[in-house]
Chain A
């Protein structure tokens, strides 16, 4: 067929009367790192389970490596999966955990030993091979779980929120290791998470899901800079984007006294539309300090709440009667009640249709 590593075609999944996934289509290229991102209940883990063959689908097709595996057993799909709770077999040693899948597949003993040795070398778990999972730390357990997928020599790796059970520091460490692993192996990887930092740092492409639909599929930069709709714009970015509802007329966004000429804005359609619209401005794209003078639009606001976070400071103000967050330098000296001059760059803003919430 094509050179798609994994293809999901018109996938529908119903749990009784509830449609969990709706006509979902997704093509993943060879060696690509795809992150399925969304809040809980959006269907991202369900989609992963469908690809793995752990859930029977209601309609559609799943292709892996040019083979239609819609009806195939999980073990026959050429996938390896890593779970959030590690799911290591508690009564087996690490070696037993790694070799279990190979034993059931009837791989010769010498070959098993070779593959276990290689996987444990890649993941640096050689000293742990004879321990039981209960004697391992969370990070070590997750390495073993990755190793279990690794020994099977599969084409596609599936990760189901693998880092969510780890503490923040370990999560950051293992995140880098997963990225290194991907560079080293160049396998196709599908990674489910609700953590946007993981998504942004790991993914070649991110699929943002909501209610069983993919809201946007694109590179991290596309998702961040040109969100296709208001949901994606709101979901990605921390602190999240500021939204102001108003009117777009002849290339000028207006809300009461506030007018923002959208000069330099890259419209989704060739004709600049008009009508009710929402402007979205990321807190980190608001200009403050000495550079305000360079910004095309400048506003005077009053500081309400200041949240110092060390590396930067989040300042809450009000623009056109709406809460408005501004991200400032960590050394910024601002206090409650003080006036502040901010600058807005329309080229970096996003405009959404007020009704359809799609990008304009």
Chain B
């Protein structure tokens, strides 16, 4: 056969090589849906960003979608330092640091305890382990509102109500069921022979946990961090109840800024404050999301 024959139109009819891609109606529909979905989330974000960069007179003109005529970062500075939350006019920054003080210890403590729980539940099958695990799973489904009042009483009795440690304990308790389930299921997928080998090598409860299981737990720990940081940072209810006025997290402060109406409502400051508050979980997600994928890939190659 000559070379011209294979490259002619006859060759195109005969299936050979990679299958040609065609844009079908279904594809167009799919992409259309995805684009609309993306716009659904992105348009409000766009409006928030441009509004936060406009001056108040410009906002009053009502051009919602227009770019700012005079760009300004003053709303952001006001939101961070000068906006009034009730009587105080220090902006969001105290709330931000309160949130950091609440989130960091809560995430750390809850993950440490939950990983030990999960490890003990999957490898050291002590008597009553299943009952304990069942109770924990049940705990994951208890509505928060039901336990708030008893918790207030309990914390008051130990003089931790309205304190930083009080709110940290509350977050740790409420993170426990789901985190324990997460770690238990992760460790359940690790071959029990690894645990047996370590026991024959003479390692005890803590040695096996620290030297063998923890180094293998990076992927699930990233998941736990995302889950806890997002949950605790975005929490409003527990913060406003348990933290006490001096420790109110950012979300509570944001609410106060937005709801404080003395004179005109400063939309640009509200928008900037909202974006700042939402930024932390977003950043965590972007940074650890990459780690997350890497962690999964590393875990996929079993040792």
Instruction: Tell whether B202 is near chain A: CB-to-CB under 8 Å.
Output: yes
B303 touches A134 (CB 8 A): yes
Report Cα–Cα, A105/B198, bound state, in Å: 12
Contact residues of B between 159 and 193, Cβ < 8 Å to A: 191, 193
B216 touches A79 (CB 8 A): no
Report Cα–Cα, A52/B200, bound state, in Å: 8
| Residues of B with C-beta under 8 A to A104 | 201-203, 207
A91 touches B200 (CB 8 A): no
Instruction: Tell whether A276 is near chain B: CB-to-CB under 8 Å.
Output: no
Instruction: Tell whether B57 is near chain A: CB-to-CB under 8 Å.
Output: no
Instruction: Tell whether B215 is near chain A: CB-to-CB under 8 Å.
Output: yes
CB distance from A76 to the nearest CB of B (A): 8
Stretch at the interface among A19-27, A81-89, A184-192, A352-360: A81-89
| Residues of B with C-beta under 8 A to A132 | 303
Report Cα–Cα, A115/B200, bound state, in Å: 17
| Residues of A with C-beta under 8 A to B196 | 49, 52, 54, 74, 81, 83, 87
Instruction: Tell whether B156 is near chain A: CB-to-CB under 8 Å.
Output: no
Report Cα–Cα, A133/B302, bound state, in Å: 9
Contact residues of B between 193 and 210, Cβ < 8 Å to A: 193-194, 196-203, 207
| Residues of B with C-beta under 8 A to A101 | 200-203
Instruction: Tell whether A95 is near chain B: CB-to-CB under 8 Å.
Output: no
A87 touches B215 (CB 8 A): no
| Residues of B with C-beta under 8 A to A105 | 202
| Residues of A with C-beta under 8 A to B201 | 75, 100-101, 104, 148, 152
Report Cα–Cα, A104/B201, bound state, in Å: 7
B303 touches A88 (CB 8 A): yes
Report Cα–Cα, A91/B194, bound state, in Å: 12
Knowing A89-B212, A90-B302, A134-B301 touch, does A100 contact B203 (C-beta < 8 A)?
yes
Instruction: Tell whether B265 is near chain A: CB-to-CB under 8 Å.
Output: no
Instruction: Tell whether A212 is near chain B: CB-to-CB under 8 Å.
Output: no
Instruction: Tell whether A343 is near chain B: CB-to-CB under 8 Å.
Output: no
Instruction: Tell whether A80 is near chain B: CB-to-CB under 8 Å.
Output: yes
B303 touches A74 (CB 8 A): no
Report Cα–Cα, A88/B199, bound state, in Å: 13
Nearest residue, chain A, Cβ from B301: A134
Interface membership of chain B positions 287-303, coded 1 if the CB is closer than 8 angstroms to chain A and 0 otherwise: 00000000000000111
CB distance from A68 to the nearest CB of B (A): 19
Contact of B197 among A76, A83, A134 (CB under 8 A): A83
Size of the A side of the interface (Cβ < 8 Å), in residues, is 30
Report Cα–Cα, A52/B197, bound state, in Å: 10
| Residues of B with C-beta under 8 A to A86 | 303
Size of the B side of the interface (Cβ < 8 Å), in residues, is 19
Report Cα–Cα, A105/B301, bound state, in Å: 30
Report Cα–Cα, A134/B216, bound state, in Å: 13
| Residues of A with C-beta under 8 A to B207 | 104
Instruction: Tell whether B211 is near chain A: CB-to-CB under 8 Å.
Output: yes
Report Cα–Cα, A134/B194, bound state, in Å: 14
Nearest residue, chain A, Cβ from B197: A87
A90 touches B216 (CB 8 A): yes
Report Cα–Cα, A129/B19, bound state, in Å: 47
Contact residues of A between 127 and 145, Cβ < 8 Å to B: 132-134, 145
Contact residues of A between 21 and 71, Cβ < 8 Å to B: 49, 52, 54
Report Cα–Cα, A49/B200, bound state, in Å: 11
CB distance from A72 to the nearest CB of B (A): 12
| Residues of B with C-beta under 8 A to A100 | 198, 201, 203, 211
CB distance from B125 to the nearest CB of A (A): 10
A87 touches B193 (CB 8 A): yes
Report Cα–Cα, A145/B301, bound state, in Å: 18
CB distance from B193 to the nearest CB of A (A): 4
Nearest residue, chain B, Cβ from A160: B193
Contact residues of A between 70 and 122, Cβ < 8 Å to B: 73-76, 79-81, 83-91, 100-101, 104-105
Report Cα–Cα, A133/B201, bound state, in Å: 17
Report Cα–Cα, A133/B216, bound state, in Å: 13
Interface membership of chain A positions 242-278, coded 1 if the CB is closer than 8 angstroms to chain B and 0 otherwise: 0000000000000000000000000000000000000
Report Cα–Cα, A148/B199, bound state, in Å: 13
Report Cα–Cα, A49/B196, bound state, in Å: 9
B200 touches A75 (CB 8 A): yes
Report Cα–Cα, A146/B187, bound state, in Å: 25
CB distance from B135 to the nearest CB of A (A): 22
CB distance from B195 to the nearest CB of A (A): 8
Report Cα–Cα, A65/B251, bound state, in Å: 67
| Residues of B with C-beta under 8 A to A133 | 303
Interface membership of chain B positions 83-126, coded 1 if the CB is closer than 8 angstroms to chain A and 0 otherwise: 00000000000000000000000000000000000000000000
List, sorted by A's number, 7 A–B pairs whose CB atoms are closer than 8 Å.
Answer: A52-B196, A75-B200, A75-B201, A81-B196, A91-B215, A134-B301, A134-B303
Q: Knowing that A81-B196, A89-B303, A101-B200 are A-B contacts, what are 19 other residue pairs whose CB atoms are under 8 Å apart, sorted by A's residue number?
A: A49-B196, A52-B200, A54-B196, A74-B199, A74-B200, A74-B202, A75-B199, A75-B200, A88-B303, A89-B194, A91-B212, A91-B215, A91-B303, A100-B198, A100-B203, A101-B201, A104-B201, A148-B197, A160-B193
